[in-house]
Each structure stands twice: as C-alpha cells, then as structure tokens.
Structure 1
Amino acid sequence: MTTMSLRVQSLNSDTTFALTFSHPALPKPFVLLLDPWLHSSSYVYHPLFSNQSHTTPPCISSISQLSPVPDVVIVSQKKTDHCNEGTLKELDWDGAAKNTLLYAAPGAEKVVLGWKWFDQKRLRWFRRGETMKVEFPSGEEKPTVGGPAGWLELLFMAPKWLWELPALHNAIGIKWVIPRNQGQGNQIYSILFSPHGAPVASLRPWLSSLSSQPPTPGRGARAQTTASPQPKLSLLIHPFCHIRSLLGGEIISGFPGGLSICRHAVVDNWMSAHDESKDVRGITARLLRYRLWDVNKVEKDLKEEGIGGVRVSMLHAGDEVGFELC
C-alpha cells in the first residue's frame, strides 16, 4: 500500500506553518512554508499607530534552520506579520534554497520586489481566480510503488467589495492532486489557509470544486449524500479568536467565520491560526475588542450548531501533527 502523508508544524504559534508532503515517488519530502515571521516587531504605517510582536518564542530562530529546505514559500498578504523582510532574507536563496520559489498575494509581490534583493524569476504572484500548478520535483521512476505523487494546485481567493476588507480577508486554497487508476478519478487532499478569515461567498467556487473528490480515508462520522454531495475540506487553517476594531471593523473573523465554512463544507480538521496572544501596542491597541475561543469551546459550539466529526486542534511553536492519506 502506498504511504502518502502530510505533516503540519507550527513555527511561531501564529500563522507560520511548514507543510511537509511525503510520497514514495518523491525523491525527498516537499516543504511548503506559509507566512514566515519569526522575529522583530510588525507595524502598520508607523510603530506608534499599530505595533505587535511575538510573546511566544518560535521553535527556530531562522528559517535557514528548516530541514528539508522549503521548496515553496507562500506570502498570503502584504502586512509585515505575513510578509516579513527580515525573516525571508534569512533563507539562503543563493545556496541551499537556490530552487525555492516565492508565491505572493496581490500587493505583497510589490513589497518583495521593493526590497531589491530578490530575483524576480523566483517570484510568482497570485491573480484572482487563476489556479497555479506546482509540480513536484521528479525523482527516479518507481512504477511499482503506487504511481506518481501528483502535484499541488494553489488558488488565491479574496472578497470583491471594499467594505469586506479584501486586503485582510483572503484565503489560499491548496489542493494535493494525486492521480489514481484509470476510471477512479484523482484523489484530492484539500487545505484552506485563511489567517484572517474570508467570506464564504469568495470561497464557494473553490469549495464546490471539492464536491467530486473521493472520501478522505479515516474521516469522521458525517456521510455525504448522493443526491447533493457537500464539499469535503480536508484541513481548515483558520483563527478561533474574533477580533474587531472600533476604528476599522472586523479584523479577524475567528470562530464565527470558521463556523460559516463548516456549514458549507464537510471539514475533517480545523487548526487554529493567528491566535497567539501577541504584545500589541500603538494608538489602535486600545480600540481592539477580542472574543476568545479555545479548543474546548470550539468543539462545544460546533456540536451545539449540529456540526460533528471535525477534529479541532491548536498548535503551539514546535508542535506538529501528521495526516496519513493511505
């Protein structure tokens, strides 16, 4: 039997995750790094306006310590707690990471190019509605071991309307597409990374594309009906804590936003993101209002909404969890 797995590790208790894809046909595990921010403060406009820093030490001091070296780095937005110059520059782009590619959300690509150190040929930028295919490195042919490893498909999703804060409330859809025997269709492992939350209206087309995927091995008790199949989302990486500003409205949709996704898709796993209790300072700090959910409250409130079978987790720096596909 083919062993395919995904390992997710939190590097900073916030939104920096290393996703490691393993398959017998791959010459080495394939690593995708999300929103690397390990140190230094992150400010908006000016430190006196809004400034935040980690209160939990990351599990590594530099992304150059990651092993294996990331194959792909994704920056989901241009804010410095997602697109952090100091952290990104520590990767040995001309040495060990010479083949690493950086995928940047709209706006973030201009920030990266503005640093004037990054090779533009290594930069890929997302465009709304355009799926980007990431090929795995090819190794030796292994025709007797379960077939090819497949590929990744990435899609950037954002709301259309200004009042929905499109610069914050976006998401990256990640599909691991694994070809199967003729007539069986492709196996898909789906991941939705939305560090601030995103309106379901902006996610619905991508979620609908998951309806035809075969059941994920070992999933929970909820069954899909043949008459109206519900999209199956393998992993949701989304905040628990809801944050709004008296100045700018909803900053992070938290549990209510994740609940909306769970109502529109069968979610196997929900992992917390952006929920570190950071040191927040500046003029806007006193204008923030928080509503907190922990793992137990998320589980309880999901059950009260009639939603079962979702495995809920919150990873702290250095914690990791593995998912076996088969």
Structure 2
Amino acid sequence: MINKIEVKSVLNKQKYVDDWFLSGYSINPYSGCSFNCVYCYTRGSKYGEHQVPGLAVKINAPEVLVKQLKNRARKREYGFIAFGSATDPYLPMEKDLKLTRELLMIILRFHFPVNLLTRSPLILRDLDILKKIGEKAILPPDLKGKMDTGVVLSFSFSTTDEDLARIFEPSAPSPQERLETMKKCKEEGFRVGAICMPLLPFLSDSEEHLDEMIKKVKKYDADFLMASGLTLFGEGPYDCKTRYYKVLEEHFPELVPKTKTIFGNSFAPSRKYQQELHQRIIRLSRKHNIRNKIY
C-alpha cells in the first residue's frame, strides 16, 4: 500500500555543503523504499525515526518546492540539490506518478543544479529535462570555474556481483542494469559516477572484489568513483543492523563473528578497518585511472 502524505518542507537545507556530493540541499520525493536493500541506513537511524511506515508519496511536494526554491532563488542562494539522498527518486511507482519528473521541471524553472542518485534505469526517461538543467543551472560561487555542468548523475552500488546483489538488494535493478544505464547517460553527455556505498565487509571490500568493481565501472564510462564502508544502526526487528546480521547468518554465517569484531559496540567499523579500506580504494582507483571526486 502506498500512503499519501502532505509535507511542510521538501527542500532540506544542509548545515554544511557536502564535500563529496557538492550539495547544499537535498530532496526526497518519496518516503520509504521498495528496493528493500538490507543495509539501508534510513532504517533504525536518526534518518528513519519519523518516516511513515511503508511507502509514501509526498503529494504536495511540487507546490511546496515552488515556494521554497522561489525564496532561495530570490536570495540567490544557489547550490547543488542532492536528489534521492535517502530514498531512490526512481522507485517503480515513479513510472506512473511522475513526481520526480515534476520536481525536476520546477528545479529547471529556478535554475538550481542537481546531483541525482539512483539505482534505476527509469532515469533515462528524464534525460531531456536533466540536459536543460545542466545547461541553465546557476552554480554556487565556489564551483564556478571548476564545474562545466549543473547536473551530476550518480549510480549506487554496494557490489557489482549479481549474486551478492540479489541477496542484499533483492528488489533493486541489477548491477548490470545500473552499469548500462550509467553508460547511456555518459553517451548523452552527462557527468556520471559510481557511488559504492556501502561496501560490505568481507564480501565486496576485498582487494580482488574492489579491483573487479572499479575496473568494471571504469569500463562503463564512470567519470568518478566514491566509496565507503557499512554503517549499522538499531536493535529493533526492522532496523538495518538486525536485518543485516539476519541475512548474513542465513547466507554467510562464518562472517558474523568477523563482522561483529570490526564493529564492536559502534554503528561504524573500527578506525583501522576504515583507514585500510580507504587506502585500498585510493590505490585501486589510481590503478584504473578513475578519480575519487566529482571534479
């Protein structure tokens, strides 16, 4: 069942501009996600505390966004909008509802730049609007001269292995679909990249797996790759920490103690693990000649 909700705000102003995604704002047209990724950080975290159970569409988002962007544009507070930072903007229901498309048309009207994060080939439907946004967007002062477009298209992966993806991202488009969609977007002239977040400990974070993953996204014309480790929140039955360990126990029981060791009592892996993972990512990215930032 899809809930219909009304919101007072749809454009979220961030405290700081995100160094990775360049965004000063974020938009999520939908609440909840039908892709059902086991590790989703909006489950059992501060991001998910106030979500409506199940899927929800923000039915008044267009009229709210007009008011908010009109105000920001009047003050010339331009900045990249991270589109789909918490929920994919191209869930299957978007095909009929066209809410994301409507919001992109409003963004075009007010000349804001966009970094759109998705797993779905449905993004191809909206390349016409995204091209216009890229041409007409007003970049924030700190990015002028550094960026030649107002649109970045980022494709999300935790792995490029089809079998692993079916376990941890059971209802999402396959990694191969995402790779092919990314390549098509690149062929249309967009700046595209792979967001490998989260990498799964002892599954998609190894030297061999990462090497293959980075080699593959480079082959499919990614301009950049950004990657980081897994975070696990919550102790409830539907929280991502609980769900992740349940799936791990079912498919890779030998990895449960190893994974718990690197997390300890924290929601994030140990500093040592994160440092080693970061060094591995940098080294392999250099090997395959792909940068680790958007520009």
Smaller-chain TM-score bracket: 0.3 to 0.5
More strand by share: 1
Relative contact order (alpha carbons < 8 A, sep ≥ 6): 1 or 2 greater? 1
Q: TM (normalized to structure 1)?
A: 0.39
Q: Greater share of helix residues, 1 or 2? A: 2
